[in-house]
A and B are shown apart, each in its own frame.
Chain A
Amino acid sequence: MSGLSRREALRVAAVGVALLTTRGLAAQSASTQDSTGTPNGPTDGSSGSNLFAMNQEAARTVRRPPKPGVKAHISDDERNATEKKLRCQCGCTLDIYTCRTTDFACEVSPAMHRDVMALVDGGYDAQEIIDAFTQTYGEKVLMAPTKRGFNLVGWTMPFGALLVGAGVVTVLLRRWHRRAVTVRARESAPAPVTGVDATDEELRRIEAAVRGGDE
């Protein structure tokens, strides 16, 4: 199999089943720590809600050397739009722009904003800034999955499912309609002649005679 190892392929097949099992879900729950051991989920250990429990240590440095001879060429609106595509890592689930302009207690989004500003000043464009952040934090820093590889399954599945559903509904509607037509035809057809004292052969000959046949 190209691209996928056997183990990966089995993993793909097992996803649906695993999602329904306690063990699978528990495993997921346990794996909500990234490679650095930083909890990605809420960190409040209390029995209360985790609303806005923050991981203030989550910011990492995203710096690149300034491009020689290139000045900042992104407008403030473009920069804000870029920040809206990048997720703050404090655990708030907001993008950098919204978090830094909403929650003054967060130290992560201002730090990420400073990195964006440094990259803008260094002459990097929006896509290059996004790429730099992705290299440092991984894909989880993007507010939406990229439209590449397995992520395409994520993007297309809802529409695919809807199309399949539409196909099923259409087939069902046609089947039910055909059944209604058959029932109506049966009900409107003349009742079969019963009680005639004649053999099948005699009936056949009578029918042929009526049609003016040779027999």
Chain B
Amino acid sequence: MILIGELSLWVAVVMAAWTTTVSFAGGKLRRPDLIASGERGLYASFALVLLAAIGLWTALLSHDFSLEYVASNTSRNMPAVYVFAAFWGGQAGSLLFWALILSFYGTLAVFSSRKRSRDLMPWVTGTIGAVLLFFLLTTCLGANPYTRLPFVPVDGRGLNPQLQNPGMAIHPPNLYLGYVATTIPFAFAIGSLITRRLDNEWLGAVRRWALVSWFFLTVGITLGMWWAYVELGWGGYWAWDPVENASFLPWLTGTAFLHSIMIQEKRGMLKKWNVVLVVATFLLSILGTFITRSGIISSVHAFAQSPVGSWFSGFLVVALAITVFLVMTRLRDLEAPVTLESVVSREAAFLYNNLVLCGIAFSVLWGTLFPIISEWVRGTKITVGPPFFNAVNIPLGLLLLGLTGVGPLIAWRRASSANLKRQFAAPSTAGLATGGLLLAAGMRDAYALISYTLAGFVTATIVQEFYKGTAARRAIHGEAAPIALVRLVARNRRRYGGYIVHLGIVVLFSAFAGLAFKRELDVTLRPGESYTTKDPYGHEWRFVSQGISRFEAANRDVVAIGLDVFRDGKRIGVMTSEQRQYRDSRGNPTFNPSTEVGIHGTLKEDTYVVLAGVSGDETAELRINFNPLVWWVWYGGAIMAIGGLIVMWPAAERRRPASGYRASLAPSAEFAEAGAR
């Protein structure tokens, strides 16, 4: 199977090259036989890449250490789930994994759209084929997971212990699923630009895939934050590391696109801008991958410096050049007779929303690349860390939060002052009341106060929208409130799913603001000693050391501390924190020792204990954090994902009338466009 997998990988390269060539040729010469051959080529590429993936999985699970990849990323005593996950734990495997997802997505996209957009599809297939070809070539020539060692080691090196965590087993695949999904909208954009069919036809498929990408990026980023929090032990979930930033960038531009696409659908506006956003989202995904894999920027996550980095930079330059050429030569086709009835309209609010999202994306990209720019200009290395990103992005984030509440309150086309007063009255009151109450309660952190004030405002906006919609259904259909609410969401998934996503954003921002009240303590405890302190809410906590224990677990040596924990005099239980030294099957240490954090989590706060060191007399050096509202980060991410699922859920086919006439109406966007003229 391993040999079949290896051969399949090389045949897949040829097949992807074939797919690209005949698809573009078929599109240019308008030859259905070539077009059909290209489509079949893509399906075959998927089958071949799948075989290559099965081959690698077989090698991993059968501990075939003759493969360098298997020996470098697994060991005999690793739990099977992590051996399976090691497929994407290293450079070469993750590239093959990327190719696997891309060929699957490509197959799905081409198969589902092959009967629509006939003119467009050969170019879409060809573009997907070209991107796939790049990834397969990079895998084969840059970092081949089938590279063999000149000898067969008895055991492998094992997977980095920090990666042996359930979050890490599922976080990268989600991010990859998100990154790779940006290829499909990009392929449709390229196809539309080449064929000059830049009407709204391509938007349907693009929107679906943009949502898929957004959903998986959201889940992947949230899981990544969770993994960083529970596994890395530094007490936070977001460090503005270049690789974290790399995943955030396409999320930001993808979110901007999901808003601006509505303006094109409803008003026929922003055609150029939407193409730019689709392309930017794809290129930022590639840029992120380049940053991760080139070692160009120092990052805890980065893969070793390797030739793969230059492959990605080359691809980035070529893709950018082709796209810029296509956009510049088709500017006239992208012109739309844009009119705006009022600057106080939802269209305008969405534009400012796009501006802030792209502003944040720019600031994150700028901060990530500024060390390189500084070194180029001044020859001096600098660090751009969390203080910079927080100072720049917190104000922008709050602006975005405010716009999240403003947008839904303003009508499309034109909002009258009476309408504005009616819409804004309750949310503004709720926001100001929230801020006022917190101020009266003693909250003095300016950013936190603004954040909670805006959170109150946006929450009230969302509640008002649901209330008005439900009330309207009750009045028209005479439904009970719960049924009216469920049907309201079911019949308007895009709108109300979107509001649920906004609610997730509110919850996230509330959690972020909680960090303003975080407490960090250095504690030294001998066995039997205790330490008493207060948390940000004023509760008294007492930690009593039960001493240090040393033991062997499945594939590691463990040094652990047990702490008896009391809150306001009431015993909560025992918290433990560990230092782990992982070993291979022969008992040799693998990788550096790692920390296992002790966390006692509640809705209000997490108590977070890190065993930072143990001295000869069993004195433990501990860091104890009180991190308010951390659980709300995970809830916020989950709510956003649920909202995304509701938006993505396909609409049921409308029942056909049993008799009489059937008339086909033009899409509402065309009516809107016609009305705007």
Interface residues of A (CB under 8 A from B): 8, 11-12, 14-15, 18-22, 25-26, 28-29, 31-32, 34, 40-42, 44-54, 76, 80, 85, 87, 91-95, 98-105, 138-145, 149-151, 154-155, 157-159, 161-162, 165-166, 169, 172-174, 176-177, 179-180, 183
Contacts and interface: CB of A to CB of B under 8 A. Distances in A.
Contacts of B595: 102-104
Nearest to B356: A162
Contacts of A76: 522
Contacts of A161: 359, 362-363, 366
B646 interface: no
Interface in B567-586: 579
Given A48-B90, A101-B623, A154-B366, A28 B375 contact: yes
18 contacts: A12-B377, A32-B296, A41-B299, A42-B295, A46-B157, A48-B160, A51-B162, A52-B162, A93-B299, A101-B623, A102-B623, A104-B595, A138-B380, A144-B391, A154-B366, A158-B363, A162-B355, A169-B352
B369 interface: yes
Contact of B300 (A51, A173, A174): A51
A177 B160 contact: no
B173 to A, nearest CB: 15
Contacts of A150: 374, 377-378
Interface residues of B, number: 96
A174 B614 CA distance: 66
Interface in B143-171: 143, 157, 159-160, 162-163
Interface in B272-329: 290, 294-306, 309-310, 313-314, 316-317, 320
B126 interface: no
A139 B362 CA distance: 24
A139 B297 CA distance: 16
B383 A142 contact: yes
Contacts of B520: 80, 101
B79 interface: no
Contacts of B377: 8, 11-12, 15, 150
Interface string B366-391: 11011011111110111111111001
B396 A162 contact: yes
B453 to A, nearest CB: 22
Interface of B: 68-69, 72-73, 89-92, 143, 157, 159-160, 162-163, 232-235, 239, 241, 269, 290, 294-306, 309-310, 313-314, 316-317, 320, 338-343, 348, 351-352, 355-356, 358-359, 362-363, 366-367, 369-370, 372-378, 380-388, 391-392, 396, 520, 522, 579, 592-595, 610-614, 621, 623, 676-677
B351 A173 contact: yes
Contacts of A151: 374, 382
A180 B677 CA distance: 8
A42 B602 CA distance: 36
Given A19-B373, A173-B343, A41 B383 contact: no
A15 B157 contact: no
Given A102-B595, A104-B579, A140-B381, A94 B375 contact: no
A94 B157 CA distance: 26
B156 to A, nearest CB: 11
Given A29-B296, A169-B352, A47 B72 contact: yes
A169 to B, nearest CB: 5
Given A50-B302, A76-B522, A157-B366, 18 more contacts: A22-B314, A25-B290, A28-B376, A42-B302, A85-B387, A102-B233, A104-B611, A143-B386, A143-B387, A144-B391, A145-B383, A150-B377, A151-B374, A154-B366, A155-B391, A158-B366, A176-B339, A180-B341
A13 to B, nearest CB: 10
Interface centre among A85, A94, A138 (most CB of B within 10 A): A94
Nearest to B273: A172
Contacts of B352: 166, 169
A110 B380 CA distance: 26
B222 to A, nearest CB: 19
B300 A50 contact: yes
Interface centre among A11, A99, A101, A103 (most CB of B within 10 A): A101
B296 A145 contact: no
Contact of A25 (B163, B294, B348, B522): B294
B448 to A, nearest CB: 19
A179 B338 contact: yes
